[in-house]
Structure 1
Amino acid sequence: MSVFIIAEAGVNHNGSVDLAKQLIDVAANSGANAVKFQSFKAENLVAKNTQKAEYQKQTTNASESQFDMLKKLELDMETHKELIAYCQEKDIMFLSTPFDHDSINLLSDLGMQIFKIASGEITNLPYLRHVGSLNKQIVLSTGMSSLKEVESALNVLINSGSLKENITVLHANTMYPTPMEDVNLNAMLTIHKEFDVNVGYSDHTLGIEVDIAAVAMGASCIEKHFTLDKTMDGPDHKASLEPKELKAMVNAIRNIEKALGSSKKKPSSSESANIEIARKSIIASQNIKKGDLLTDGNIATKRPGSGISPMQWDEVIGTVASKDYNTDELI
């Protein structure tokens, strides 16, 4: 099954429908399976006096509150409908992460079949129950969480009515950008081993190599932030991929998928033609007369591999030549 690649537009539309559509164009052109936005009402998401995260202060106006920043990034019902229709036109799936109960209902009413749960909601019991009760496909990010918290969230979702096989758990680190030494990609394998669920990786590192490594390690889903331009104003642009980088990541992942192949070890069809050229056979290392004893003094191994295999060396040594051989002739 191919890796499900989510191009995370997030709030990189900066509140502009036109920018959102340009982001959809980029995601569709990259070959990603889905483009994802964020659905929230600022008043339901954050208390009015809440400080911004440190990385947000560095990438936006530090004196502005988190509430005021988010208020400008809201998408209303009509905008959701417009973006969903545009995604259908561009043949890419529309996804969005809901951050409050109203937004969960909004997305459910709009027919979303996949619900993405952000890392910050993994300890939000009422929220998890609400999403779990919809019995949809769920993608659960696990940044900032312990294994115990992942287990608790999974139990809530399943007990609320979701099927375990419909849940994909994404290992993640909620630092923008994530330092390489904090990625801990092996934790993705721990999640799979502990809970026997589909796993993937939500990436906030700079660059694309960790995403490629995650796919090679068995990720079934990759999520990555992207933007039109890293220098734009806004909280997430700086830690996002630009269009060419997103396309390069998708291409690399698709190549790795092909390269993983099956678990069988056997010659591939493309290399089979080279077996005779690359392998060796037992040959005469000098002229040999019929009746001569074959010894390591008068036989050797050389290419091509169309004669007797050198693995039969011990069986040939000590036998009598049945005919005359010229130097380099196959025995």
Structure 2
Amino acid sequence: MTVKIGNREVGDTCPCFIIAEIGINHNGSLELVKELIEVAKAAGCDAVKFQKRTPELSTPPAQRDLLRQTPWGIIPYLEYKKKIELSREDYREIDRYCRALGMIWFASCWDLPSVEFIEQFQPACHKVASAMLTNRELLLALRDTGRPVILSTGMSTQQEIDNAVELLGKERLLLTHSTSSYPCPPAETNLKMIGTLRKRYGVSVGYSGHEVGLQISLAAVALGARLLERHITLDRAMWGSDQAASLEPGGLNRLVRDVRIIETALGDGVKRVYDSELSKRLSLRGY
């Protein structure tokens, strides 16, 4: 089964769809957003992704008034969440900029108004963040857009995933295996879940990684991940909760390069004798 996202087919018979997760690593700066889009484009990524929230709805009440040290000083958590949200004008420019570069973009919406907001830009698909997998109203709203949905499965039980898949349907669904810790220790990435999810649901499965380094993401592709998502940043030392689990430009370049090499190396599973082997076959076997 394949699902079309923008001008790309995503599925078991297609090249791995590589998503650069900008998320909230822009810290509310449109200038930084554009730099990160350029980094993703230069590396050869297929898409960039953002996170869209209505802070008054998505911030837990108990957290709203907690003070937090931020680039804007010590402010309540709710105010911080507002400052890192991009405006309608910012998203218009993101849409224009990505279209000019031929880059697919979409977002994880955390509440119903955010779905309506992102829909005005006719995104190629929608992403469900792991934290929102049990939000029935949100899943229904995303399903009803008629667009492809990528469902991330971190911090979720098997039964919760079953319920979400049943609600969304499988026709335009892609799953990503994920573990929602930042950064994620290797022993908790459990990459064999990629095969488990594919077998259980019969849809194409990818991997959304929050680990440090490249090895685990590359192993995920070798194990059959058909889409791959990693957070990106200009500098892992920058302020922000997701920066430490992100890839800097050099790391992103190596990731995309190595994914494409692995795809070539995996081949088709049909045994053959290659032309490059013939001379050695002749010298060692005599025929």
TM-score w.r.t. length of structure 2: 0.90
Match of 1:103 in 2: 114
Change (3 A) 1:136 1:265: same
Rg (Cα) greater in structure:
1
* Contact 2:69–2:75 (8 Å) recurs in 1: no
Match of 2:135 in 1: 124
1:21 aligns with 2:21: no
Match of 1:93 in 2: 104
- Tell me, what secondary structure is at the counterpart of 1:262? coil
Aligned-residue sequence identity (percent) comes to 36
Q: 1:165-184 to 2 correspondence within 5 Å?
A: 165-184=171-190
**What are the superposed Cα offsets for residues 174-221 of structure 1, whole Å, 9 maximum, x if unpaired?**
100001111111112111111111101000000011111011011100
* Contact 1:40–1:75 (8 Å) recurs in 2: no
Change (3 A) 1:186 1:275: same
Could you tell me how far 1:270 is from its partner in structure 2? 3.1
* Contact 1:60–1:235 (8 Å) recurs in 2: no
**Using CA pairs below 8 Å that are at least 6 residues apart, which structure has the higher relative contact order?**
2
1:71 aligns with 2:91: no
Higher share in strand: 2
1:257 aligns with 2:268: no
Match of 1:283 in 2: none
Counterpart Cα distance in 2 of 1:250 and 1:170: 18
Match of 1:144 in 2: 155
Could you tell me how far 1:60 is from its partner in structure 2? 8.1
**Number of corresponding residues:** 273
Could you tell me how far 1:109 is from its partner in structure 2? 1.7
Change (3 A) 1:167 1:60: farther
1:33 aligns with 2:46: yes
* Contact 2:214–2:255 (8 Å) recurs in 1: yes
Q: Residue type matched to 1:193 in 2?
A: K
Counterpart Cα distance in 1 of 2:79 and 2:63: 10
Match of 1:215 in 2: 221
Counterpart Cα distance in 2 of 1:147 and 1:63: 40
Could you tell me how far 1:265 is from its partner in structure 2? 1.1
Change (3 A) 1:230 1:97: same
Q: Please report the RMSD computed on the Cα atoms of aligned residues, expressed in angstroms.
A: 2.1
Counterpart Cα distance in 2 of 1:154 and 1:59: 38
Question: Where does the alignment leave 5 or more consecutive residues of structure 2 unmatched?
Answer: 1-13
**What are the superposed Cα offsets for residues 210-252 of structure 1, whole Å, 9 maximum, x if unpaired?**
1110110111000000100111111111111100001100111
Change (3 A) 1:208 1:116: same
* Contact 1:59–1:235 (8 Å) recurs in 2: no
* Contact 2:105–2:124 (8 Å) recurs in 1: no
- Tell me, what secondary structure is at the counterpart of 1:222? strand
TM-score w.r.t. length of structure 1: 0.78
* Contact 1:140–1:169 (8 Å) recurs in 2: yes
